Amino acid sequence: MTKLKDLDFKILFELMKNSKISDRELAKIVGVSQPTVSRRRTRLEKEAIDGYTAIPKWEKIGYEILAITFIKAMKIFTSKEYMDIRKQGLGWLEKQPNIIMGGACEGMGMNSFIISLHKNYSDHSEFMLKLRLEMGNFIDDIQTILVNLRGKGRLKPLHFKYIAEAK
Protein backbone atom coordinates (compact mmCIF):
# COMPACT_ATOMS: atom_id res chain seq x y z
CA MET A 1 0.00 0.00 0.00
CA THR A 2 1.33 3.41 -0.88
CA LYS A 3 1.43 6.16 1.70
CA LEU A 4 -1.59 8.47 1.66
CA LYS A 5 -0.91 12.06 0.62
CA ASP A 6 -2.64 15.22 1.85
CA LEU A 7 -4.98 15.20 -1.16
CA ASP A 8 -5.92 11.58 -0.39
CA PHE A 9 -6.85 12.56 3.17
CA LYS A 10 -8.92 15.52 1.94
CA ILE A 11 -10.82 13.25 -0.45
CA LEU A 12 -11.24 10.52 2.19
CA PHE A 13 -12.59 12.97 4.79
CA GLU A 14 -15.07 14.43 2.31
CA LEU A 15 -16.23 10.90 1.42
CA MET A 16 -16.69 10.15 5.14
CA LYS A 17 -18.98 13.17 5.38
CA ASN A 18 -20.93 12.21 2.26
CA SER A 19 -20.10 9.02 0.35
CA LYS A 20 -22.67 9.92 -2.32
CA ILE A 21 -20.80 13.04 -3.40
CA SER A 22 -19.91 13.12 -7.11
CA ASP A 23 -16.30 13.30 -8.26
CA ARG A 24 -17.08 16.65 -9.87
CA GLU A 25 -18.39 18.13 -6.59
CA LEU A 26 -15.49 16.59 -4.70
CA ALA A 27 -13.00 18.14 -7.14
CA LYS A 28 -14.46 21.60 -6.49
CA ILE A 29 -14.18 21.15 -2.72
CA VAL A 30 -10.57 19.90 -2.69
CA GLY A 31 -9.40 22.16 -5.53
CA VAL A 32 -8.23 19.71 -8.20
CA SER A 33 -9.61 18.40 -11.50
CA GLN A 34 -12.38 15.80 -11.66
CA PRO A 35 -10.13 13.21 -13.42
CA THR A 36 -7.58 13.58 -10.60
CA VAL A 37 -10.30 12.96 -8.01
CA SER A 38 -11.58 9.94 -9.98
CA ARG A 39 -8.09 8.38 -10.11
CA ARG A 40 -7.44 9.05 -6.42
CA ARG A 41 -10.87 7.78 -5.39
CA THR A 42 -10.33 4.53 -7.32
CA ARG A 43 -6.96 4.04 -5.62
CA LEU A 44 -8.41 4.88 -2.18
CA GLU A 45 -11.20 2.36 -2.74
CA LYS A 46 -8.56 -0.32 -3.28
CA GLU A 47 -6.17 0.71 -0.52
CA ALA A 48 -7.89 2.71 2.22
CA ILE A 49 -11.69 2.45 2.00
CA ASP A 50 -13.14 -0.71 3.47
CA GLY A 51 -16.58 -0.04 1.99
CA TYR A 52 -19.44 2.41 1.79
CA THR A 53 -22.37 2.07 4.11
CA ALA A 54 -25.53 3.86 5.08
CA ILE A 55 -26.02 4.64 8.75
CA PRO A 56 -29.71 4.13 9.43
CA LYS A 57 -31.87 5.57 12.14
CA TRP A 58 -31.79 2.32 14.11
CA GLU A 59 -35.22 2.72 15.69
CA LYS A 60 -36.79 3.25 12.26
CA ILE A 61 -35.60 -0.19 11.12
CA GLY A 62 -36.63 -1.97 14.29
CA TYR A 63 -33.52 -1.97 16.53
CA GLU A 64 -33.98 -0.85 20.13
CA ILE A 65 -30.68 -1.95 21.71
CA LEU A 66 -27.00 -1.51 20.98
CA ALA A 67 -24.98 -3.84 23.19
CA ILE A 68 -21.32 -3.47 24.03
CA THR A 69 -20.20 -6.79 25.48
CA PHE A 70 -16.84 -7.23 27.16
CA ILE A 71 -15.44 -10.73 27.49
CA LYS A 72 -12.63 -12.14 29.56
CA ALA A 73 -11.44 -15.22 27.67
CA MET A 74 -10.03 -18.11 29.63
CA LYS A 75 -6.30 -18.29 30.16
CA ILE A 76 -4.52 -19.95 27.25
CA PHE A 77 -1.40 -21.98 27.88
CA THR A 78 -0.11 -22.95 24.43
CA SER A 79 0.03 -21.31 21.01
CA LYS A 80 -1.92 -24.27 19.58
CA GLU A 81 -4.72 -23.71 22.11
CA TYR A 82 -4.72 -20.02 21.21
CA MET A 83 -4.97 -20.70 17.46
CA ASP A 84 -7.74 -23.28 17.95
CA ILE A 85 -9.80 -20.97 20.18
CA ARG A 86 -9.18 -18.00 17.87
CA LYS A 87 -10.34 -19.98 14.83
CA GLN A 88 -13.49 -21.15 16.61
CA GLY A 89 -14.19 -17.63 17.92
CA LEU A 90 -13.78 -16.04 14.49
CA GLY A 91 -16.09 -18.63 12.98
CA TRP A 92 -18.72 -17.91 15.62
CA LEU A 93 -18.44 -14.12 15.16
CA GLU A 94 -18.82 -14.39 11.38
CA LYS A 95 -22.06 -16.36 11.76
CA GLN A 96 -23.72 -13.66 13.91
CA PRO A 97 -25.38 -11.08 11.62
CA ASN A 98 -26.22 -8.70 14.46
CA ILE A 99 -22.55 -8.24 15.46
CA ILE A 100 -21.23 -5.10 13.79
CA MET A 101 -17.73 -5.20 15.31
CA GLY A 102 -15.68 -7.45 17.54
CA GLY A 103 -12.10 -8.13 18.51
CA ALA A 104 -9.41 -7.94 21.13
CA CYS A 105 -9.28 -5.14 23.69
CA GLU A 106 -7.58 -4.16 26.93
CA GLY A 107 -8.97 -2.74 30.15
CA MET A 108 -11.34 -3.53 33.02
CA GLY A 109 -9.81 -7.01 33.17
CA MET A 110 -11.37 -7.90 29.80
CA ASN A 111 -9.60 -8.93 26.61
CA SER A 112 -12.33 -9.11 23.93
CA PHE A 113 -15.35 -7.07 22.91
CA ILE A 114 -18.45 -7.36 20.74
CA ILE A 115 -20.69 -4.55 19.53
CA SER A 116 -24.10 -5.84 18.48
CA LEU A 117 -27.57 -4.58 17.58
CA HIS A 118 -30.80 -6.14 18.83
CA LYS A 119 -34.48 -5.71 18.01
CA ASN A 120 -35.44 -5.80 21.70
CA TYR A 121 -34.41 -7.13 25.11
CA SER A 122 -35.64 -10.66 24.32
CA ASP A 123 -33.51 -10.71 21.17
CA HIS A 124 -30.47 -9.61 23.20
CA SER A 125 -31.19 -12.18 25.88
CA GLU A 126 -31.33 -14.98 23.28
CA PHE A 127 -28.06 -13.72 21.78
CA MET A 128 -26.35 -13.82 25.19
CA LEU A 129 -27.65 -17.34 25.85
CA LYS A 130 -26.31 -18.46 22.48
CA LEU A 131 -22.94 -16.86 23.26
CA ARG A 132 -22.74 -18.64 26.62
CA LEU A 133 -23.86 -22.01 25.22
CA GLU A 134 -21.66 -22.00 22.13
CA MET A 135 -18.57 -20.18 23.38
CA GLY A 136 -18.88 -20.50 27.17
CA ASN A 137 -16.10 -23.08 27.45
CA PHE A 138 -13.62 -20.34 26.48
CA ILE A 139 -15.05 -17.53 28.63
CA ASP A 140 -14.27 -16.62 32.25
CA ASP A 141 -16.44 -13.49 32.50
CA ILE A 142 -18.92 -11.42 30.45
CA GLN A 143 -20.05 -7.84 31.13
CA THR A 144 -22.52 -6.00 28.89
CA ILE A 145 -23.58 -2.39 28.55
CA LEU A 146 -26.97 -1.87 26.88
CA VAL A 147 -27.76 1.35 25.03
CA ASN A 148 -31.41 2.24 24.45
CA LEU A 149 -31.51 3.41 20.83
CA ARG A 150 -35.02 4.80 21.27
CA GLY A 151 -34.36 6.67 24.48
CA LYS A 152 -33.56 10.29 25.13
CA GLY A 153 -30.19 9.33 26.62
CA ARG A 154 -28.49 9.10 23.24
CA LEU A 155 -27.11 12.58 22.73
CA LYS A 156 -24.93 12.08 19.65
CA PRO A 157 -25.78 9.44 17.05
CA LEU A 158 -23.20 7.11 15.50
CA HIS A 159 -21.75 8.74 12.40
CA PHE A 160 -18.34 8.87 10.73
CA LYS A 161 -18.71 12.49 9.64
CA TYR A 162 -17.55 13.52 13.12
CA ILE A 163 -14.13 11.94 12.53
CA ALA A 164 -13.83 13.75 9.21
CA GLU A 165 -14.68 17.05 10.91
CA ALA A 166 -12.06 16.42 13.63
CA LYS A 167 -9.14 16.16 11.15
Q: Residue 1 pLDDT more than 60?
A: no
CATH code of the domain covering residue 82? 3.30.70.920
Distant-in-sequence, close-in-space partners of 98: CB < 8 Å, separation ≥ 6:
116, 117, 118, 123, 127
Tens digit of each residue's pLDDT (9 = 90 or more) over 8-47: 889 999 998 899 999 999 999 999 999 999 999 999 999 9
- Going by C-alpha positions, the residue among 138, 43, 34 that lies closest to residue 92 is 138
DSSP state of 5: P
The pTM for the full model equals: 0.81
**Using CA atoms, how far apart are residues 23 and 38, in angstroms rounded to an integer?**
6
Tens digit of each residue's pLDDT (9 = 90 or more) over 117-143: 999 999 999 999 999 999 998 899 999
CATH code of the domain covering residue 29? 1.10.10
Residue 164 belongs to some domain of the structure: no
